[in-house]
């Protein structure tokens, strides 16, 4: 420890001895007993740290005198092991050095970007660096490698795209660039080589631009300037283009365009501008191309012998250096057969070309171009100086459209359209009225369809289709000229006779009639879709050209359920029909000669017997008899007036007597219904209607001749039913309806003329409230409330004073949840019980003013008291909290100040004696626990001295005086400071400075609290090895043991009571 330490200031303990070197000299400083104020000592430039053998373990240096160490060297056995440096002096270490066992540096790691991550690594040898790695893109991986020999760089490799592969290698000679190789395409092959001269300047570049492994471009430099480029454009290993430069300007270019080793093209430039050009393609010494250039270097004219026959048949004229016109004379007559025109915008492609196709000396054909492709052509075919044909071309140069004046009258009557060079459409206007009267359509060069507009009104009326032999096979017609096809014909390709004719008679664009004929054109069958649903529903069959029979689908289900016979004029005689789709006819209709039905017979049960017979006159129903039971007897009679039902009579018992009657109004709506339910020839139920809806009903349910129940309807919906069972003129049951459902029901169960039970119902006729007179005093004193049909609440006036004094509330299953009583009759509940599973679990009582609770109790399922809260002063604040265990008071919280917060919590034993007291501090949080013996004498206190929620101080007493304290200063739950008292005075302090639970510093104090002696166990072996008296070290004759390991008493934790209060 060194010098005597005063632990009252809780000093910091150092494990190393520190040597600090300041500007005034050296001094050995041990840990001070008192804290040194900031600024009282200047900053050290060098600080040395020593290990326990007093060897240097660390050296810290402040090279900038800014009170920040920017160099730190770590030693092992007084030999440098590693070092850290802040080379840019920004307060962060950015260089790390590693040493070998002899103290020689062997490597460096650097953070040159200042982002806190290492981005350079250097391997060192006695001769200097051997390799340097750099992370240039700061992704944490090296991408540049530089290798050294004798301290000089010899090679650098770089990964330029971060894929882990080397893309560029630079070779050095005497620290200067010698050669560079680069893989620009990142395919693993070198495609650029740069060679440097002795001064380090670029002398030559070789480039492989097509990844074939050959360097086809070589660029030569002198004094850093490009002077010549040699190119192998064919890839045969021979140079075929050489371009010479002076500064940045081309001065001469030579080219071997046919790769025969002879440079046949020669171009001379002046000031970067071409002055002359000559081409000797065959190497015979004669130039096939002669070019004339203007003084400014622009090309003026070119004459070209393209076929090498000695005649320059092509002449090009230029303006401002751009080709303007081109003339071609192939037959050597001195007159051009083809003249092409060019513009500045079109570049090297012609915009117009005029040709003499007849060799008469006149240019009769003109072609127009856009972006190098033919777009339009005009022709003068009769040499009258007027165009007779126009052609347009698509982007591929194929003909797209044609306009032709076939009779040379100046009008283009034929218009043709092409696709991919083949004719697809031709429109012909023979009369000159504007719209074409004939339009032809082609496929693969063959006519496939013709559209005709005979009156040339702009609307096509006829469409014809042709077979590959050019014969008409089908025709479509618009007969009513509404713009839609309404007739389709299938033709015999040989005779032209229509074999099938389809017609659209409804105008919806779909055929609904089909006529099939034989080879001579005589009808065989006619099919009709009369409801235009796309399905045939009427078919007429012919014999010898005359109608004989028909079938019909009258219900549009896809089955011909009706069939009948026809006379020679096509009129129906008898028709049978299958109306239910079971495959058997169930309706038979007989017709008069005029075509009117006179009788209908129906089989409604499918048993083969007609059970409904309707008689008609001039198409109107007169009478209908119905067998509703299937016994072969007609039991229902329906009478008609003006084809409308007037009255229906029914025999429901089979006794041949009618017992039900329905009367109808002129709109087939019921007016009145009468029923004889018991077949005594007396009416038991009468229901009247208003505009076809029920309005009123009377019922004699007991068949005594008296109608005891009446019902009222509104808009056909039941709204009220009243029942008078004793015929005294007063209803005992009255039911009101809402939207046809029971809404309210009133009952007079004792016959006193007053309703004593009233029920209210919801939308689904489930009860929502039932009120009852249980006292028989004429007042509804009990009300039960329902939700979704479940009884949820009850309110009752038990004493008949008109105020509710009992409230019951149930859970969703109908079990009692809460019971509240008004015991003193003031209209406000003063006692409330809360239930769980039908058992009371909580009780609340209010004070006399009813404004707050004075008692709240909790019970267990057996009804035993568990806990309670009391307001003993009536100030609406609970001041006593009791908790019971086995019906005995176990804990009690008290508010002794009246602020609504407890100050003390008492814990009792089974005999009622207080064992533990917990006291709150000024902030309301628990601060100390006091432990008592059975006689009530304090044994110890556990205190939260720092208000952290941890009991860190224990105070022991003997009688009324403190005998010992234990303190946990580290907050780890273990004692590290103990003080011993005698007669109320502190006489000894034991300290655990290492945290191992054993004291290693013992201070003996005099009566005034000063330290007389301090014993120390500096090596932690349990024996005293240092002693100080009066602030001076003294020698020890023996090594007495330190006090035994401390045993901290159990303090427990503060009760959970405090978390809720």
454-to-438, 478, 964 alpha-carbon distances in Å? 8, 12, 130
Instruction: Tell me the HSE value of 52 on the side-chain side, using a 13 A CA sphere.
Output: 4
State mean pLDDT over 543-559: 84
- Strand ranges (E), 420-571: 422-428, 438-443, 446-452, 462-466, 472-477, 487-491, 498-503, 513-517, 523-528, 538-543, 546-552, 562-566
Residue pointed to by tokens 């191309």 = 289
Local structure of residue 408 (DSSP, 8 states): -
Instruction: Tell me the HSE value of 968 on the side-chain side, using a 13 A CA sphere.
Output: 22
pLDDT(9) > 60 = no
How many angstroms separate the CA atoms of 287 and 283, rounded?
9
pLDDT for residue 285:
67
- Is residue 814 within 8 Å of 834, Cβ to Cβ? no
Q: Which SS3 state, helix, strand or coil, does residue 479 take? A: coil
Q: Which SS3 state, helix, strand or coil, does residue 1056 take? A: helix
Kind and range of the H or E run holding 304: strand 299-304
In a domain, 393, yes or no: yes
**Chain centre distance of CA 966:** 62
How many angstroms separate the CA atoms of 180 and 167, rounded?
11
For the ranges 377-381, 709-713, 850-854, the lowest mean pLDDT is seen at 850-854
225-to-197, 247, 267, 531, 736 alpha-carbon distances in Å? 13, 7, 22, 93, 112
State mean pLDDT over 889-894: 94
Closest CA to 1004 of 4, 13, 33, 11: 4
Given 858, 878, 898, the domain boundary residue is 878
pLDDT for residue 346:
67
pLDDT tens digits for range 321-375: 788 889 888 877 778 889 989 887 766 788 899 998 888 878 889 999 888 888 9
pLDDT(912) > 70 = yes
pLDDT for residue 1037:
85
State mean pLDDT over 1034-1053: 86
In a domain, 388, yes or no: yes
State mean pLDDT over 397-406: 90
State mean pLDDT over 137-166: 91
pLDDT tens digits for range 183-234: 999 988 999 999 999 888 999 999 998 888 899 999 999 988 999 999 988 8
pLDDT tens digits for range 55-96: 999 999 999 988 999 999 999 988 999 999 999 899 899 999
Given 845, 878, 911, the domain boundary residue is 878
pLDDT for residue 74:
96
pLDDT(936) > 90 = no
Given 863, 878, 893, the domain boundary residue is 878
How many angstroms separate the CA atoms of 397 and 374, rounded?
5
pLDDT for residue 42:
67
Closest CA to 158 of 174, 141, 140: 141
- Is residue 858 within 8 Å of 872, Cβ to Cβ? no
- Contacts of 886 by beta carbon, 8 Å cutoff, 6+ apart: none
For the ranges 337-341, 432-436, 939-943, the lowest mean pLDDT is seen at 432-436
For the ranges 17-26, 37-46, 527-536, the lowest mean pLDDT is seen at 17-26
pLDDT for residue 117:
92
State mean pLDDT over 650-664: 91
- φ, ψ at 1015 (rounded to 5°): -105, 145
State mean pLDDT over 966-986: 90
pLDDT(38) > 60 = no
In a domain, 306, yes or no: no
- φ, ψ at 1005 (rounded to 5°): -110, 150
How many angstroms separate the CA atoms of 226 and 156, rounded?
26
Closest CA to 479 of 468, 489, 488, 487: 487
pLDDT(858) > 90 = yes
pLDDT tens digits for range 259-308: 888 888 888 887 777 777 778 777 766 677 878 777 776 778 888 887 77
Q: Which SS3 state, helix, strand or coil, does residue 1034 take? A: strand
pLDDT(135) > 60 = yes
State mean pLDDT over 880-907: 93
Q: Which SS3 state, helix, strand or coil, does residue 232 take? A: coil
38 compared with 840, residue with greater pLDDT: 840
How many angstroms separate the CA atoms of 876 and 800, rounded?
33
Burial class (CB in 10 A: 0-12, 13-18, 19+), 659: buried
How many angstroms separate the CA atoms of 786 and 765, rounded?
12
The pLDDT confidence band at residue 314, using thresholds 50, 70 and 90, is confident
In a domain, 450, yes or no: yes
CA angle 914, 919, 920 (to 5 degrees): 155
1001 compared with 483, residue with greater pLDDT: 1001
State mean pLDDT over 1013-1024: 91
pLDDT for residue 21:
39
pLDDT for residue 273:
76
How many angstroms separate the CA atoms of 726 and 822, rounded?
42
In a domain, 869, yes or no: yes
CA angle 598, 600, 603 (to 5 degrees): 165
pLDDT(441) > 60 = yes
Burial 257-292 (b: 16+ CB within 10 A, else e): eeeeeebbbebebeeeebeebebbbeeeeebbbebe
- Is residue 589 within 8 Å of 615, Cβ to Cβ? no
Closest CA to 194 of 202, 260, 681, 1060: 202
How many angstroms separate the CA atoms of 31 and 5, rounded?
9
How many angstroms separate the CA atoms of 363 and 862, rounded?
124
State mean pLDDT over 896-922: 92
Q: pLDDT over 70 for what percent of the chain?
A: 95
Range 703-710, long-range pairs (CB < 8 A, 24+ positions)? 703/677, 703/678
Between the CA atoms of 75, 77, 80 and 85, what dihedral angle is there, to the nearest 10 degrees? 0
The pLDDT confidence band at residue 30, using thresholds 50, 70 and 90, is very low
Local structure of residue 1023 (DSSP, 8 states): B
Name the average pLDDT for the chain: 87
pLDDT(725) > 80 = yes
pLDDT(19) > 60 = no
In a domain, 854, yes or no: yes
Tokens of 695: 């309005």
How many angstroms separate the CA atoms of 422 and 420, rounded?
6
Tokens of 905: 């919590």
Domains contained in the chain, number = 2
pLDDT(39) > 50 = no
Tokens of 898: 């009246």
How many angstroms separate the CA atoms of 1014 and 1025, rounded?
11
How many angstroms separate the CA atoms of 422 and 445, rounded?
7
How many angstroms separate the CA atoms of 986 and 965, rounded?
10
In a domain, 822, yes or no: no
398-to-354, 403, 669 alpha-carbon distances in Å? 19, 15, 78
Print the domain residue range for 870.
830-878
In a domain, 570, yes or no: no
- Is residue 1013 within 8 Å of 1031, Cβ to Cβ? no
- As a 3-state breakdown, the chain gives helix, strand, coil percent values, each rounded to 5, of 0, 50, 50
């Amino acid at each position: 420890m060194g010098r005597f330490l005063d632990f009252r200031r809780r000093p910091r303990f150092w494990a190393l001895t520190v040597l600090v070197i300041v500007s005034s000299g050296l001094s050995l400083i041990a840990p001070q007993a008192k804290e040194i104020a900031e600024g009282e000592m200047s900053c050290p430039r060098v600080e040395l740290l020593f290990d326990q053998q007093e060897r240097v373990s660390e050296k810290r240096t402040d090279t900038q005198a800014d009170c920040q160490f920017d160099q730190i060297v770590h030693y092992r056995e007084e030999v440098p092991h590693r070092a850290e440096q802040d080379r840019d002096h920004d307060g962060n270490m950015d260089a790390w050095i590693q040493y070998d066992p002899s103290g020689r540096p062997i490597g460096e790691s650097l953070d040159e970007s200042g982002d806190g991550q290492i981005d350079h690594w250097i391997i060192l040898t006695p001769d200097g660096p051997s390799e340097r790695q750099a992370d240039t893109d700061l992704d944490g991986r090296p991408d540049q490698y530089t290798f050294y020999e004798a301290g000089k760089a010899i090679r650098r490799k770089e990964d330029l795209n971060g894929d882990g592969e080397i893309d560029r290698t630079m070779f050095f000679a005497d620290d200067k660039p010698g050669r560079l190789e680069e893989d620009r395409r990142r395919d693993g092959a070198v495609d650029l080589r740069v060679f440097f001269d002795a001064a380090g300047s670029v002398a030559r570049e070789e480039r492989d631009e097509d990844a074939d492994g050959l360097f086809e471009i070589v660029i030569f430099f002198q004094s850093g300037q490009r002077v010549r480029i040699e190119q192998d454009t064919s890839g045969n290993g021979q140079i075929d283009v050489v371009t010479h430069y002076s500064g940045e300007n081309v001065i001469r270019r030579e080219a071997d365009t046919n790769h025969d080793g002879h440079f046949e093209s020669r171009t001379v430039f002046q000031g970067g501008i071409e002055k002359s050009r000559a081409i000797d393609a065959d190497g015979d010494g004669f130039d096939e191309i002669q070019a004339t250039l203007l003084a400014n270097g622009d090309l003026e004219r070119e004459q070209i012998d393209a076929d090498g026959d000695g005649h320059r048949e092509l002449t090009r004229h230029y303006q401002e250096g751009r080709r303007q016109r081109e003339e071609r004379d192939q037959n050597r007559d001195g007159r051009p057969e083809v003249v092409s025109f060019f513009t500045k915008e079109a570049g090297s492609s012609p915009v117009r070309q005029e040709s003499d196709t007849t060799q008469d000396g006149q240019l009769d054909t003109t072609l127009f171009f856009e972006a190098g492709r033919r777009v339009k052509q005009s022709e003068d075919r009769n040499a009258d100086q007027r165009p007779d044909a126009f052609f347009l071309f698509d982007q591929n140069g194929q003909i797209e459209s044609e306009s032709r004046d076939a009779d040379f009258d100046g009008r283009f009557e034929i218009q043709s359209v092409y696709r991919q060079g083949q004719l697809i459409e031709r429109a012909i206007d023979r009369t000159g009225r504007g719209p074409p009267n004939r339009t032809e359509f082609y496929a693969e060069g063959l006519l496939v369809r013709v559209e005709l507009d005979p009156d040339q009104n702009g609307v096509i009326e006829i469409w014809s289709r042709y077979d590959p032999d050019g014969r008409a096979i089908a025709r479509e017609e618009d007969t009513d000229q509404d713009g839609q096809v309404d007739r389709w014909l299938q033709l015999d390709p040989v005779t032209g006779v229509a074999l099938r004719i389809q017609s659209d008679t409804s105008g919806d664009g779909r055929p609904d009639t089909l006529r099939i004929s034989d080879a001579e054109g005589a009808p065989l069958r006619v099919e009709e879709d009369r409801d235009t649903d796309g399905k045939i529903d009427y078919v007429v069959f012919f014999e010898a050209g005359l109608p004989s029979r028909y079938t019909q689908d009258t219900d549009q289900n896809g089955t011909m359920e009706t069939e009948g016979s026809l006379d020679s004029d096509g009129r129906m005689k008898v028709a049978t029909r299958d109306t239910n789709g079971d495959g058997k006819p169930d309706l038979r209709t007989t017709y008069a000669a005029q075509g009117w039905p006179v009788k209908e017979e129906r089989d409604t049960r499918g048993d083969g017997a007609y059970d409904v017979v309707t008689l008609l006159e001039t198409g109107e129903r007169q009478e209908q008899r119905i067998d509703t039971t299937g016994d072969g007897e007609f039991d229902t009679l329906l009478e008609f007036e003006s084809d409308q039902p007037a009255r229906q009579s029914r025999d429901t018992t089979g006794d041949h007597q009618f017992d039900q009657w329905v009367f109808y109004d002129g709109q087939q709506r019921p007016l009145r219904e009468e029923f004889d339910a018991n077949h005594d020839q007396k009416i038991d139920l009468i229901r009247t209607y208003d505009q076809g809806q029920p309005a009123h009903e009377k019922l004699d349910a007991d068949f005594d001749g008296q109608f005891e129940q009446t019902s009222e309807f509104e808009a056909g919906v039941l709204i009220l039913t009243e029942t008078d069972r004793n015929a005294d003129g007063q209803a005992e049951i009255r039911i009101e309806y809402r939207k046809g459902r029971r809404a309210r029901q009133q009952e007079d169960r004792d016959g006193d003329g007053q309703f004593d039970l009233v029920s209210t119902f919801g939308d689904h006729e489930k009860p929502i409230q039932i009120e009852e007179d249980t006292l028989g005093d004429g007042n509804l004193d009990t009300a039960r409330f329902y939700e979704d049909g479940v009884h949820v609440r009850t309110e009752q006036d038990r004493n008949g004073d008109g105020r509710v004094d009992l409230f019951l509330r149930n859970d969703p299953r109908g079990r009692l949840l809460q019971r509240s009583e008004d015991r003193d009759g003031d209209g406000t509940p003063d006692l409330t019980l809360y239930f769980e599973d039908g058992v009371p679990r909580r009780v609340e009582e209010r004070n006399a003013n009813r404004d707050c609770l004075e008692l709240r109790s909790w019970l267990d399922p057996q009804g035993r008291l568990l806990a309670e809260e009391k307001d003993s002063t009536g100030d609406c604040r609970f001041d006593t909290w009791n908790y019971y265990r086995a019906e005995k008071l176990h804990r009690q919280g008290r508010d002794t100040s009246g602020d609504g917060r407890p100050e003390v919590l008492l814990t009792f034993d089974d005999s009622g004696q207080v064992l533990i007291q917990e006291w709150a501090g000024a902030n309301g949080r628990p601060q100390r626990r006091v432990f008592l013996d059975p006689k009530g004498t304090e044994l110890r206190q556990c205190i939260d001295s720092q208000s952290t929620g941890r009991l860190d101080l224990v105070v022991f007493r003997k009688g009324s005086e403190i005998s010992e304290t234990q303190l946990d200063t580290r907050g780890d739950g273990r004692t590290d400071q103990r003080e011993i008292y005698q007669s109320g005075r502190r006489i000894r302090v034991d300290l655990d400075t290492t945290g191992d639970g054993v004291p290693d510093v013992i201070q003996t104090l005099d009566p005034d609290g000063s330290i007389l002696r301090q014993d120390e166990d500096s090596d932690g072996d349990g024996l005293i090895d240092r002693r100080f008296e009066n602030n001076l070290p003294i020698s020890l004759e023996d090594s007495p043991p330190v006090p035994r390991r401390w045993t901290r008493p159990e303090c427990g934790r503060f009760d959970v009571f405090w978390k809720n209060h």
